Amino acid sequence: MGVVERKERERELRSESIIDAAERIFFDKGFEHATMNDVAEEAELSKGALYLYFHSKNELCMAILQRSLLILKGIFKSLKGNNNQTGIEKFPELASEFINFTKQYPNHYNALLSYREHRENCPVTGKIIKSTIEENRNINNIISEIIRAGQIDKTIKTDIDADKLSLALWGNFTGIMPSSILSEKVMPNFNPEDIIEYHFQLLINAIRT
Amino acid sequence: MGVVERKERERELRSESIIDAAERIFFDKGFEHATMNDVAEEAELSKGALYLYFHSKNELCMAILQRSLLILKGIFKSLKGNNNQTGIEKFPELASEFINFTKQYPNHYNALLSYREHRENCPVTGKIIKSTIEENRNINNIISEIIRAGQIDKTIKTDIDADKLSLALWGNFTGIMPSSILSEKVMPNFNPEDIIEYHFQLLINAIRT
DNA sequence: GTCACCAAGTGACCAATGGTCATATTTTGT
DNA sequence: ACAAAATATGACCATTGGTCACTTGGTGAC
């Protein structure tokens, strides 16, 4: 009797459909101005029901953020799987794929950047937090594997520390673009892509064999 | 009769003392859990009075953030003014000075990272926002001037784009460290400084003559 | 078929808080 | 001395994240 399994599946579906609704509401109104009542209405549920699936508004945001990480993981994974390019050729692709991501999923990108904001109001023990950290680890691993592949095919210097470089790149992704938002009219001639691409160019010179 | 001038000065002092109080409260309780009543009490004013000086809680946070930028500007300025080092020697100092800043002023560093969170809830036209953007521009200019000085003393390649590199570095500062918070146990062997320093090492190889 | 049980869902309700505004106090210029 | 202007007060309001006593409907035992 698969009742338990079916219920589990249904619970998962409900949970996903709540996140769907939350995305629509949060992306539309912005996190601060969106209310849990809005989300409840959009999800065709009562407010109380939301709290059967998520501990807080912040945790619901973390669930959206997790989706962003999953999207990114998919992107980098398929870059890694592409066997027509050498490691060093894939390197600038990391940048351009990320830029594509920010353009194709601006709201999810935005959610990604709001990590700090929501993270600190969520319990450390939560399942969502744990899997968010896990996804982040996965992404970093994929990036460093791409770098290591370049070392194996001898297009990237072997003395490069793939793990550290991978973290540095991730830092770029979550830093450079916001910095350009921060800078606003600081350097009106440049857009974020210019900066990211230029930075990667410099790094290529430092890591290629 | 300098009454107007005196009033202006007093207003400025009041404003600063409110920011002082807000720093104590926000840094202690965290932005989310601190209330404007707390701040008012700490500033020995009524809540209403706070709003004579700042339009909103978010704008008050931006005032704190502005102080962070001023601190950083001072740090980079004195690095720039040091005439005992060549440009390329100053380059890694940018990283270590920033790391020092994060350790010496963890709360202000934290405030800096919360830019996005508060910025989007402030009116674009506000005086505080404008001067925040201005300070950010100043910092970027100082960094690029340091790089250009290295090109003049011939320790940094002349074909390096100082403006772009400066923005990329700023992106690092606001990205790498948070990424390591994000990553949390992703790479437990490394701490943020390792990553920042490694990254700068790679860049040095790319830009030195 | 019936009935006790329990997970799922409801929505009125609460406490907390950002922000306002009529009123009060202090300072200024005359 | 006094009116006008600037500054400050704090009761008050609207909003909202979160709770909980209660309802609903499916489930499985008999």
CB A161 within 8 A of CB B198: yes
Q: How many CB pairs under 8 A join A and B?
A: 169
Q: Which of A124, A135, A164, A193 to probe the B interface (max B CBs under 10 A)?
A: A164
Which residues have CB under 8 Å from B6's CB, separation 6+? none
Which residues have CB under 8 Å from B90's CB, separation 6+? B79, B80, B82, B146, B149, B150
B176, pLDDT greater than 70: no
Give the burial class of A144: count Cβ atoms within 10 A of its Cβ; 0-12 exposed, 13-18 middle, 19 or more buried. buried
CB A1 within 8 A of CB A15: no
Q: What is the pLDDT of residue B1?
A: 56
The answer to whether residue A203 neighbours chain B at the CB level (below 8 Å) is: yes
pLDDT band at A74 (very low <50, low <70, confident <90, very high): very high
The answer to whether residue A198 neighbours chain B at the CB level (below 8 Å) is: yes
Q: Is the CB of B34 under 7 A from strand C?
A: yes
Q: What is the pLDDT of residue A163?
A: 93
Q: What is the pLDDT of residue B184?
A: 65
Q: Which CATH architecture has domain B58-207?
A: Orthogonal Bundle (1.10)
- Segment among A30-44, A116-130, A192-206 with least mean pLDDT: A116-130
Q: What is the pLDDT of residue B81?
A: 96
What is the distance in angstroms measured between the alpha-carbon CA of B194 and the sugar C1' of D4? Answer: 64
pLDDT band at B182 (very low <50, low <70, confident <90, very high): low
pLDDT per residue over B87-96, tens digit each?
999 999 999 9
CB within 8 Å: B176 and A181: no
Q: What is the pLDDT of residue A171?
A: 84
Gap between the Cα atoms of B7 and B63, Å rounded: 21
Q: What is the DSSP letter of B34?
A: -
Three-state secondary-structure class, residue B156: strand
Domain boundaries, chain B: 1-53, 58-207
pLDDT band at A3 (very low <50, low <70, confident <90, very high): confident
- Segment among A5-9, A47-51, A103-107, A185-189 with least mean pLDDT: A185-189
pLDDT per residue over A138-195, tens digit each?
999 999 999 999 999 999 999 999 999 999 998 888 876 676 666 666 667 778 888 8
What is the distance in angstroms measured between the alpha-carbon CA of B194 and the sugar C1' of C2? Answer: 70
Kindly report the CATH class assigned to A64-207: mainly alpha
pLDDT band at B80 (very low <50, low <70, confident <90, very high): very high
Q: A16 vs A106, B106, B168, CA distance in Å?
A: 20, 37, 37
Instruction: Please check whether the domain covering A1-53 is classified as CATH 1.10.10.60.
Output: yes
B74, pLDDT greater than 70: yes
CB A181 within 8 A of CB B136: no
Average pLDDT score, chain B: 91
Inter-residue long-range contacts of B77-85, CB under 8 Å, 24+ positions, other chains counted? B77/B142, B79/B146, B80/B142, B80/B145, B80/B146, B80/B149
CB B179 within 8 A of CB A174: yes
B60, pLDDT greater than 80: yes
- Segment among A99-103, A205-209, B6-10 with least mean pLDDT: B6-10
The answer to whether residue A3 neighbours chain B at the CB level (below 8 Å) is: no
- Segment among A89-98, A131-140, B49-58, B174-183 with least mean pLDDT: B174-183
**Taking the C1' atom of D27, which residue's CA lies nearest?**
A3
Higher pLDDT: B52 or B1? It is B52
B186, pLDDT greater than 70: no
ipTM: 0.90
Q: What is the pLDDT of residue A107?
A: 95
Tokens matching residue A14: 């409900």
Average pLDDT score, chain A: 91
Q: What is the pLDDT of residue A123?
A: 79
Candidates A121, A177, A183; nearest CB to B140? A183
Nearest to A196 by CA among A180, A176, A179: A176
Residue A160 backbone dihedrals phi, psi, to 5 degrees: -75, 135
Identical fold at A1-53 and A64-207? no
SS3 content of chain B, % helix, strand, coil (to 5): 75, 0, 20
The arithmetic mean of pLDDT across residues A58-64, rounded, is 97
Gap between the Cα atoms of B207 and B209, Å rounded: 7
Percent of chain A predicted with pLDDT > 70: 94
Gap between the Cα atoms of A151 and B49, Å rounded: 62
pLDDT per residue over A82-120, tens digit each?
999 999 999 999 999 999 999 999 999 999 999 988 988
